[in-house]
Chains A and B, each alone.
Chain A
């Protein structure tokens, strides 16, 4: 896309094209200047200040870089929360990418009742709010939850001391912790080892979101490519790797970038379901930021934390964007 020399000799046509381009992005420019830039700059300034949002008489005080210094020296939760968020992102991004794609492929066909299936998978996105968090709290509860009651039945069937039961329990407990010292059941969100992984598992319930994005992307792949491949005798597997993946790469690129941006800022479930616990094992980076802003009344420090995260996300996004020329294939290459 980029042609550095092209701009130097701007032909008339190019000038008109550029003008049209600017005209089309004008609404965004206006909106950005009006609604986004100001608040972002304000928080950047705040990150060099001490500011208590709960006090009426303004306590805005310039403190220089000390908020940034505090991150590395004065906040025991900074590294902990950063590692929690990194772990979450490292697991959930690939999971979301592959899971969403698999679901979309599964649901991208003309079978009877496909509308119902698609709706079922999108449903979790729609049932938002407090009820869902309460529901998952119950599902995950070690002794009364649906999951563990079901598992207990399985273990009873296999025999509590049988090798099979232990073989089944071992990987589950390795990932999701133990319910109790001598129990075969996993502890889910109530165990330090399992809490974060449980929240990741829970995020899979809302794969419907990335599913419909992939589904929309799949519609843009012309059917003729597959027909041609069929004639050439290419198998399903080859078709997937040679046609679907390259032609879907703009969508995958989108999901990857949004995955990075989104997963690094995840915190709501950590706040509602586990309140950061047990023992800070689900204290996400932004949860720490949120608490500093609104519960510890250190808005300045919270802003510094947020801008540090901004830099991390921006660099990762740049990395993805730079690498995209290697693997993202756009149909609309200009000749």
Chain B
């Protein structure tokens, strides 16, 4: 009796659980993506419109038409009013394009209530015709979607995207490769070998992250000047080959310390050297952590702003993060370009993560060995 109830409960849970999971995930995803959606919509809007219309999720453009003449307008509000014995919508518009003052036009067709709803226009509440607005029945207002795809082309052109991309790719590739290789080796040393000073040296490694970079920035610059590395890409990725990324070493070490020593012992019995054990046994098992560090590093090098700002002088060597600042001027921000360029710049990171996240599955070898 009890068993059956439990069985039924389990069946029910099996049915409901995925639904709950999905609902939770979808809700959270929507929250995470909301700002992104706004970025996309801003990147498709006309210049200058920016935020002045308040919140609009789609790149609408309103046009007022009368006798084959069309002009772009801003819709201020609308109300339903009887006109010529029929119910119709009056829309308060403000011209972007002519000397006309805010005025109200008569929209003679369509399902009006629904249209107001669809347009998300604030209903006009003024009871009668005030001096402010001229309620004249003429013309019609059409709202259409007019995404400015050209923003992307123009933004990329203006920031010299392809030049910046080549430099960013080189820095990111060499920096990430260097970090993955050197940090995993060093972490292997810290995690798998006993030697005097292991713990102290590891603390020294951690402590290199504890001093705010604000005060080491200038000494580091002096160092690279002595190496004649100013205005080259070298200061941006070369240190990575010397395992300066303590974060990565720490993460690798923590991961290696969860792998049983049986693995090493078995490999050594089979005649593997220490390096061979690392290469043949630990490395294949550390795919998830490799993916994690790889993704982190890639993102970090891709978005790095301070490094390129300080070390690069000539525009042929600029990176994407520097290029993005073309649209955030000292005095004005070109929102539509900035958003378009930001999205274009982050696209490779998104693709990489999408491809890389499949490594977050339990290693096959591992479960086999434990069983």
Contact = CB atoms under 8 A, between A and B. Distances in A.
A–B contact at 8 Å CB threshold (below): yes
Contacts of A216: 255, 288-289, 291-292, 360
Contacts, number: 293
Nearest to A134: B333
B25 A331 contact: no
A36 B257 CA distance: 26
B68 to A, nearest CB: 37
Contacts of B325: 130
27 contacts: A17-B194, A20-B189, A21-B190, A24-B188, A24-B193, A27-B241, A31-B244, A38-B223, A42-B219, A117-B29, A129-B303, A130-B328, A131-B338, A134-B335, A134-B338, A135-B39, A139-B35, A146-B55, A215-B288, A254-B251, A289-B212, A302-B214, A309-B211, A330-B258, A331-B257, A334-B194, A334-B261
Interface string B18-33: 1001101100110011
Interface residues of B, number: 103
Contacts of B191: 332
A119 B32 CA distance: 10
A106 B28 CA distance: 11
Contacts of B230: none
B195 A119 contact: no
Most chain B CB atoms below 10 A, which of A40, A124, A293: A40
A264 B293 CA distance: 22
B210 interface: yes
Give the 7 A-B residue pairs with the shortest CB-CB distance, closest first.
A31-B242, A24-B189, A21-B193, A39-B219, A18-B195, A42-B219, A128-B303
Given A223-B367, A247-B258, A131 B339 contact: yes
Interface centre among B205, B251, B260 (most CB of A within 10 A): B251
Interface stretch (A162-170, A177-185, A274-282, A313-321): A313-321
Given A127-B346, A138-B51, A220 B259 contact: yes
Interface string B33-47: 111101100000000
Interface stretch (A75-83, A188-196, A205-213): A205-213
Interface stretch (B83-91, B94-102, B157-165, B351-359): B351-359
B208 interface: yes
A6 interface: yes
Contacts of B343: 127
Interface stretch (B74-82, B130-138, B145-153, B196-204): B196-204
Interface centre among B22, B36, B210, B247 (most CB of A within 10 A): B210
Given A223-B367, A313-B210, A130 B338 contact: yes
Contacts of B55: 144, 146, 149
Contact of B216 (A43, A219, A253): A43
B204 A32 contact: yes
Contacts of A222: 362, 366-367, 370
Interface in A248-297: 250-251, 253-254, 257-258, 261, 265, 286, 289-290, 293-294
A299 B189 CA distance: 37
B267 to A, nearest CB: 14
A65 interface: no
B226 to A, nearest CB: 10
Given A216-B288, A222-B370, A330-B257, 13 more contacts: A7-B196, A21-B195, A21-B198, A27-B185, A38-B219, A42-B216, A119-B357, A120-B33, A123-B350, A131-B338, A213-B251, A254-B254, A293-B215
B22 A111 contact: yes
Main secondary structure of the interface of A (DSSP, over half): helix
A119 B329 CA distance: 31
Given A216-B291, A332-B256, A27 B242 contact: yes
Contacts of B185: 24, 27
B293 to A, nearest CB: 9
A85 to B, nearest CB: 11
B361 interface: yes
B250 interface: yes
A25 B199 CA distance: 12
A85 B32 CA distance: 26
A40 to B, nearest CB: 6
B178 to A, nearest CB: 10
A205 B289 CA distance: 22
B363 interface: yes
- Among A130, A253, A254: residue with most chain B CB under 10 A: A130
B25, B28, B55, B204: residue with the most chain A Cβ atoms closer than 10 Å? B25
A307 B259 CA distance: 36
A17 B214 CA distance: 39
B233 interface: no
A35 B244 contact: yes
A297 to B, nearest CB: 12
A332 B257 contact: yes
A321 B203 contact: yes
Contact of A220 (B288, B303, B333): B288
Nearest to A109: B21
B332 interface: no
A90 B248 CA distance: 25
Nearest to A22: B195
Given A115-B358, A123-B33, A265 B212 contact: yes
B283 interface: no
Q: Looking at B211, B335, B357, which has the most chain A CB atoms within 10 Å of its CB? A: B211
A35 B360 contact: no
Nearest to A35: B239
Contacts of A290: 212, 214
Interface in A104-130: 106-109, 111, 115-130
B209 interface: yes
